[in-house]
Chain A
Amino acid sequence: MNQMTDFTRNEARPMLRVSGLSHRVRLETDTLTILQGVSLEINRGESVAIVGRSGSGKTTLLGLLAGLDTPSEGVVELDGAEISKLGEDERAKLRASRVGFVFQSFQLLPALSAQENVMLPLELAGIEAPEARARELLERVGLGERLNHTPRQLSGGEQQRVAIARAFASDPVILFADEPTGNLDNRTGQAVSDLLMQLNREKGTTLVMVTHDERLAARCGRQLNIEAGILTEPETAREQADQ
């Protein structure tokens, strides 16, 4: 394994390009380095798993890649836009049109029904006929009968399926998933990850997933390891990716 590997690839424009990314958090007495010198490229349609233990910095990395936060140092380029230089509102605009999310804790709004939760990003992006599109997506994830149920009336697996439907609703070019099966039992987790991978393939979306579950990671085309804020790529994975 090489540290500070340069993952640059030759394709015209990668979906995500990161170079020299560092992130530090100032604490009361000293400064904590969470990420250090991360560089990486992810191509269109690729599925990438970032694997690491709790506290390794993987969630912070995901947040920076998705433009939810800005790094202390380095450049993040998403679909050609240098998001590390954009203001918060511009990043929000970019997310609305091109980014989808799936979270470990589902992050559904408890007051809205399943269908309304899926409609929300469509409305924020100004897409027409959001009801029909949301219904279609929920039918696709097997919840066609549960449109009007609120999250509290759904099981964990069902909630995550709603979240997946929501993630794909606005036809994002890239999908970020944070431990998508972390709150689910094995069987449900398996079903949910099947659905996620399948939809991802169908839509040709680029997938960046953070997980500590090696089995789930193995289902992605490429795995990266993160440990103490440093990103590494196993040789085998890199070779596979290069082929």
Chain B
Amino acid sequence: MNAAQKLMSVRRDFRERDVRVVLVALIIAVATVATIALFASQLQRTLVSSASSFLAADRQLEAENGRPVPPEWLEEARSRGLETGQMIEFSTMISGPEGFELASVKAVSDEYPLVGEVEIQQQASDGAREMVASGPAPGEVWINPRLLRLLNLEIGDSLEVGNLPLKVTRLLIREPDGGFRLSSLAPRVMMHVDDVAATGAVQEGSRVEYIYLFAGAEDALDGYYQWLEPKLGPSHEWEGVREGETLSRSFDRAERFLLLGGSLAVLLAAVAVAVASRQYALAQRDTVALLKTLGLQGRGIGRLYLRRLALWGIAGIVGGLLVALPLFRVLVALLSEALERPVEVYLDPSALLPALLTAVVSLFAFAYPPIRRLRRVPAMRVLRAQPGETGRAALPDLFIALLAIFGLVWLYAGELVLVGALLGGLALLLGVLGLFGLVLMAVLRRVNGGGNAWRLAFVGLYRHRQASLAQLAVFAMTIMLAATLILVRTSLLSDWQTQLPEDAPNHFLINIAPDAVEQVDAFWADRGAPLENLYPMVRGRMTELNGQPVKEAVSKDERINALNRELNLTWMEQLPEDNEIVRGRWFDASDTEGVSVEADLAERLGLELGDRLTFTIGSAEITEPVVSIRTVQWDSMKPNFYVVFPPEGGLVNMPATWITSFYLPEQKKFALNDFSREFPTVSVLEIDHIIGRIQDIVQQVTQAIETILALILAAALVVMAAVVSATLRDRQREGALIRTLGGRQSLLVRSTMLEFALLGLIAGVLGVLAAEAAVYVLQARMFDGSFRWHWQVILTLPLVSALLLALFGRWQLRTVLTVSPMLLLRRLE
């Protein structure tokens, strides 16, 4: 290798502190952005497939009219390359040797489930569970463990479904599509679809649902639906995965958080790259002057440094990906653990694009400008120090860089609010900093020098005022970005926590007769599992809006599930705690008319206050004006209703049953058997395993978020180290001089640590306040949370930053204290 090559060689280059900082910053940025993008894409894919398994398919077609769909519908689906399957659901009495029980039967075809797996137990005794990808064979039946106890059966015994004896071969623990369907309330029995006819339980006119399962490529599914849609009748319902997905909102926010984290990582990395490359460029001026003196031309210098930048970029990208890929695998493993099933690793190559862009933009918007200016270093510098560049030269660069970085964040997060909040927060911060800096310097000017560490610290701040202010700005910015992330994370996690607390309701009781309400309430109160609010429930359809059939009144593009099925209507006196009136007013005790409608439904129907809605309940029709629109926490695991009436309103005299939810701990589950015996008509919906699963997933996603947070805090530390080390040489020289002139080591240490602690404290206070401002906007606009001051963080973070910077200051001094002043001065020549 020749000398010029060696001078520019990567290995040699990477031994320079500033280059290492640039590289570490790039690696962290690329790693964070790549990990987040990969994981977000994986998460989305996994959740979609996980949601698909809630349907046991990608799509379901339900026929609620008790009649199968024409066979050619299924043939068409198969001809389009889709997988199909069939289920028949009905309720019937099951008889065993010791009695009868009402059961909810699901008969499945051989293909079931198209997506997901069925969890079963081979033996009642040992409890070992396994996952299988099929339903029972003809002649067999799988039953819910509770039914086994109710009928006092053993595995291997026979029971009768209608007229047909079937052998119990497995216990059915969990079906993938066992979600929240209200029709499947009685204990579940699963059998083969070919046996249904022989049971005699399904007759013309009996209440039965035919459900068809479809799976395949998205575009094939969409194409099929386009073909199918005109043929669908009012009792046909086409269900996709996005409907009724309780997890989606939580994950939507998790995804936004991850995007926010990624954006902050990009910003932090850009700051680190900018600071370090400026230092690098400053340090390179002598070399450039010498190379020019020795005859290297401007273009040659430009080429040399461009090559360097390219090499840094490649090293940053390769290094970043080397960190990101294993990290991504770890996160996927966590996810797979949370979902209790193997997750297919999905390495989305397009998810790597933002990471590559980050590296390239950081380098060219932040590192290139100071390095490009190296070409202008006068050769005369070899003979005499030249005036340094003025800040004015850097202004256009700064402008371009800011534009580039916010463009990048926008592209990356796709959220204008996010970009606005961060930009606004930063602008506010810099404005306050400018003012504050002026005041600070005016105050510091009055401090006289002296032998006292405090005085030396103040004087030090004043003497390095330009560097101090620049450092203050970068520290405050870094702290702001890190604090924003910490604050958002904290409120996100606490939101989840309150949304799904340990004792979230995990059982629903449905179909409680009015005269049994008190007894049911007492039954559970006696067993230490008190019921939450009890609500009456009346089934009805929304048929007209202002006198027009409601399906005609809304735009054809909107498919509103609520209109395609019977709604659960209720009345209540008190607005549930987690509901919120957004327009209109809640009912008075005296109200006898009016309804309160859920906000999303109201929006999709284009409802205004005063619009008149007609409901068909059995043979009756009632029409009521809309008096309020309210939001509902759908994922609260409590009974929620689209439409609510006042207690003395339109539902008076309508046939109602009652519904409630409550928390039943695992060890009290046996009480369900007594309950079913005592109240055979009340249906119990056990959702404890679903809740458990959601809690698991939330916990794992939390871990993922913590991992990302750690990465970003590491980026923040790198930025700080870069900035502190920017003045390293000056400070070392000064320290060596102070020691040469007889200053004591302890004085030097104390005054430097104090100086940095002061910087850290001021930057911490300003940064945290700016972060609160950004969080205020973000909470309101992106995370639908309510804002509150975070006193704990406001009080602790400035202290932490003061301590951290004091330690950084001490670390800077280490050479000054261990090496003799003479040696040091000579080395710094």
Looking at A7-15, A114-122, A184-192, the stretch in contact with chain B turns out to be: A114-122
Q: Which of B7, B12, B298 meets A120, CB within 8 Å?
A: B7
Chain B residues, CB < 8 A from A96: 294-296
Complex CA gap A178/B382 in Å reads 10
Contact residues, B294-315 vs A (CB, 8 A): 294-300
- Ordered by A's residue number, 6 sampled pairs between the chains whose C-beta atoms are within 8 Å are A63-B384, A68-B383, A69-B379, A112-B6, A112-B7, A119-B3
Given contacts A89-B297, A120-B3, 17 further A-B pairs with CB under 8 A are A59-B383, A62-B383, A63-B383, A69-B378, A88-B297, A88-B379, A94-B295, A95-B293, A96-B294, A103-B382, A105-B829, A111-B6, A111-B7, A112-B3, A112-B7, A120-B294, A121-B295
Q: A109-B7, A120-B4 are in contact. Are A93 and B295 (CB under 8 A)?
A: yes
A interface footprint on B345-360 (CB within 8 Å = 1, 0 otherwise): 0000000000000000
**A interface residue numbers (CB < 8 A to B):** 59-60, 62-63, 66, 68-69, 88-89, 91-97, 99, 101, 103, 105, 107, 109, 111-112, 115-117, 119-121, 123-125, 130, 152, 178
Contact A88 B293 (CB under 8 A): no
A interface footprint on B794-829 (CB within 8 Å = 1, 0 otherwise): 000000000000000000000000000000000101
Complex CA gap A155/B466 in Å reads 36
Shortest CB-to-CB span from A193 to chain B, Å, is 19
Complex CA gap A112/B291 in Å reads 13
Complex CA gap A105/B829 in Å reads 9
A interface footprint on B10-31 (CB within 8 Å = 1, 0 otherwise): 0010010000000000000000
Does any Cβ of A come within 8 Å of B318's Cβ?
A: no
Interface centre among A66, A97, A117, A120 (most CB of B within 10 A): A120
Chain B residues, CB < 8 A from A97: 295
Chain A residues, CB < 8 A from B4: 120, 123-124
Complex CA gap A125/B294 in Å reads 9
Complex CA gap A117/B334 in Å reads 54
Contact B2 A63 (CB under 8 A): no
Nearest residue (CB) in B for A167 is B294
Contact A123 B295 (CB under 8 A): no
Complex CA gap A89/B292 in Å reads 9
Shortest CB-to-CB span from A103 to chain B, Å, is 6
Chain B residues, CB < 8 A from A94: 295
Complex CA gap A105/B379 in Å reads 15
Contact B297 A93 (CB under 8 A): yes
Interface centre among B294, B296, B380 (most CB of A within 10 A): B294
Q: Which of B3, B286, B292, B829 meets A92, CB within 8 Å?
A: B292
Nearest residue (CB) in B for A103 is B382
Complex CA gap A85/B639 in Å reads 88
Complex CA gap A17/B293 in Å reads 20
Chain A residues, CB < 8 A from B290: 107, 109
Contact B384 A109 (CB under 8 A): no
Contact A95 B294 (CB under 8 A): yes
Complex CA gap A10/B135 in Å reads 113
Q: A109-B290, A120-B7 are in contact. Are A125 and B295 (CB under 8 A)?
A: yes
Chain A residues, CB < 8 A from B6: 111-112, 116
Shortest CB-to-CB span from B811 to chain A, Å, is 23
Does any Cβ of A come within 8 Å of B287's Cβ?
A: yes
Interface centre among A93, A97, A109 (most CB of B within 10 A): A109
Contact B378 A124 (CB under 8 A): no
Interface of chain A, main secondary structure: helix
Q: A112-B6, A130-B2 are in contact. Are A121 and B384 (CB under 8 A)?
A: no
Contact A124 B7 (CB under 8 A): no
Shortest CB-to-CB span from B289 to chain A, Å, is 8
Contact B3 A117 (CB under 8 A): yes
Nearest residue (CB) in A for B15 is A111
B interface bracket (residues with beta carbon within 8 Å of A): 20 to 34
Q: A96-B294, A119-B3, A120-B3 are in contact. Are A109 and B383 (CB under 8 A)?
A: no
Shortest CB-to-CB span from A179 to chain B, Å, is 10
Sorted nearest first, the 3 A-B pairs with minimum C-beta distance are A96-B295, A116-B3, A89-B297
Contact residues, B343-398 vs A (CB, 8 A): 378-380, 382-384
Complex CA gap A109/B286 in Å reads 9
Chain B residues, CB < 8 A from A109: 7, 287, 290
Complex CA gap A155/B383 in Å reads 21
Interface centre among A62, A92, A121, A130 (most CB of B within 10 A): A92
Chain B residues, CB < 8 A from A119: 2-3
Complex CA gap A124/B297 in Å reads 10
Shortest CB-to-CB span from A133 to chain B, Å, is 12
Contact residues, B42-96 vs A (CB, 8 A): none
Contact A68 B297 (CB under 8 A): no
Complex CA gap A96/B293 in Å reads 8
Chain B residues, CB < 8 A from A66: 293
Complex CA gap A101/B297 in Å reads 17
Q: A92-B379, A109-B287, A112-B7 are in contact. Are A68 and B295 (CB under 8 A)?
A: no
Contact B291 A88 (CB under 8 A): no
Chain B residues, CB < 8 A from A123: 2-4
Contact B383 A89 (CB under 8 A): no
Chain A residues, CB < 8 A from B292: 68, 88, 92
Chain B residues, CB < 8 A from A178: 383
Shortest CB-to-CB span from B14 to chain A, Å, is 12
Complex CA gap A130/B3 in Å reads 9
Shortest CB-to-CB span from A99 to chain B, Å, is 8
Interface centre among A105, A117, A124, A125 (most CB of B within 10 A): A124
Q: Which of B291, B293, B827 meets A68, CB within 8 Å?
A: B293
Chain A residues, CB < 8 A from B380: 63, 68-69
Q: A68-B379, A68-B382, A107-B290 are in contact. Are A92 and B297 (CB under 8 A)?
A: yes
Shortest CB-to-CB span from A90 to chain B, Å, is 8
Chain B residues, CB < 8 A from A92: 292, 295-298, 379
Contact A103 B383 (CB under 8 A): yes
Complex CA gap A178/B293 in Å reads 13
Chain A residues, CB < 8 A from B384: 59-60, 63
Q: A101-B382, A112-B7 are in contact. Are A121 and B294 (CB under 8 A)?
A: yes
Shortest CB-to-CB span from A196 to chain B, Å, is 17
Complex CA gap A123/B287 in Å reads 16
Complex CA gap A97/B296 in Å reads 11
A interface footprint on B534-565 (CB within 8 Å = 1, 0 otherwise): 00000000000000000000000000000000
Complex CA gap A103/B383 in Å reads 7
Nearest residue (CB) in B for A134 is B3
Chain B residues, CB < 8 A from A89: 297-299
Shortest CB-to-CB span from A34 to chain B, Å, is 11
Shortest CB-to-CB span from B376 to chain A, Å, is 9
Shortest CB-to-CB span from B815 to chain A, Å, is 15
Q: Which of A93, A99, A124 meets B291, CB within 8 Å?
A: A124
Chain B residues, CB < 8 A from A93: 295, 297
Shortest CB-to-CB span from A211 to chain B, Å, is 13
Nearest residue (CB) in A for B9 is A111
Chain A residues, CB < 8 A from B294: 95-96, 101, 120-121, 124
Complex CA gap A178/B383 in Å reads 8
Complex CA gap A121/B15 in Å reads 24
Shortest CB-to-CB span from A22 to chain B, Å, is 16
Nearest residue (CB) in A for B295 is A96
Nearest residue (CB) in B for A108 is B290
Interface centre among B3, B291, B300 (most CB of A within 10 A): B3
Complex CA gap A105/B828 in Å reads 13
Chain B residues, CB < 8 A from A103: 382-383
Chain A residues, CB < 8 A from B295: 92-97, 99, 121, 124-125
Chain B residues, CB < 8 A from A68: 292-293, 378-380, 382-383
Chain B residues, CB < 8 A from A125: 295
Chain A residues, CB < 8 A from B383: 59, 62-63, 68, 103, 178
A interface footprint on B640-657 (CB within 8 Å = 1, 0 otherwise): 000000000000000000
Complex CA gap A68/B827 in Å reads 27
Contact A124 B379 (CB under 8 A): no
Contact A101 B293 (CB under 8 A): yes
Complex CA gap A134/B590 in Å reads 104
